[in-house]
């Protein structure tokens, strides 16, 4: 099951050229771009990149992250530090595992035969580090 998280996630995966164009847009707006990957939580891959002028630096970082974590979700975040925003303005996936196992709906019986529902990813059946 395809995970849809962040911007553009209902579109086909972005090509590198499209990613570069998006990053250029972020840098034009003076947003600090960072790269994150996930296994259990979203972990930072290196520091957020401030004061960049060209997307080449971010692209090399994305490619380094893909090389290190080829089968993980990787996302690019753009942080806007201007007063009043001070938040992530754009976030999108740039890498996903070839096989996305999807989610299970778990039903638990509680007091008085009440049904409780929870969602859990099949990926978490395996221990951390071997999930994707």
Among 14, 32, 58, 62, binds another protein (CB under 8 A): 58
Among 6, 57, 97, 101, binds another protein (CB under 8 A): 57
> Nearer Cβ to another protein, position 13 or 54?
54
Residue closest to 79 by CA, chosen among 38, 39, 27, 41: 27
As a whole number of angstroms, the distance between CA 91 and CA 29 comes to: 14
Q: CA–CA distance from 62 to each of 17, 99, 113 (Å)? A: 13, 20, 49
> Nearer Cβ to another protein, position 46 or 102?
46
- Our finding on whether 48 is near another protein (CB under 8 A) is no
By CB under 8 A, what part of segment 64-93 binds another protein?
none
């Amino acid at each position: 099951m395809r995970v849809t998280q962040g911007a553009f996630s209902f579109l086909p995966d972005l090509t590198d050229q499209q990613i570069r164009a998006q990053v250029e847009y972020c840098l034009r707006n003076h947003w600090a771009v960072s790269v994150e990957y996930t296994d259990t939580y979203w972990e930072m891959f290196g520091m957020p990149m401030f004061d960049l002028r060209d997307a080449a630096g971010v692209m090399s970082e994305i490619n380094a992250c893909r090389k290190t974590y080829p089968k993980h979700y990787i996302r690019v975040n753009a942080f806007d530090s201007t007063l009043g925003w001070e938040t992530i303005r754009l976030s999108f996936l740039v890498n996903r595992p070839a096989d996305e196992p999807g989610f299970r709906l778990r039903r638990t019986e509680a007091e008085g035969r009440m049904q409780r529902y929870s969602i859990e990813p099949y990926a978490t059946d395996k221990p951390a580090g071997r999930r994707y």
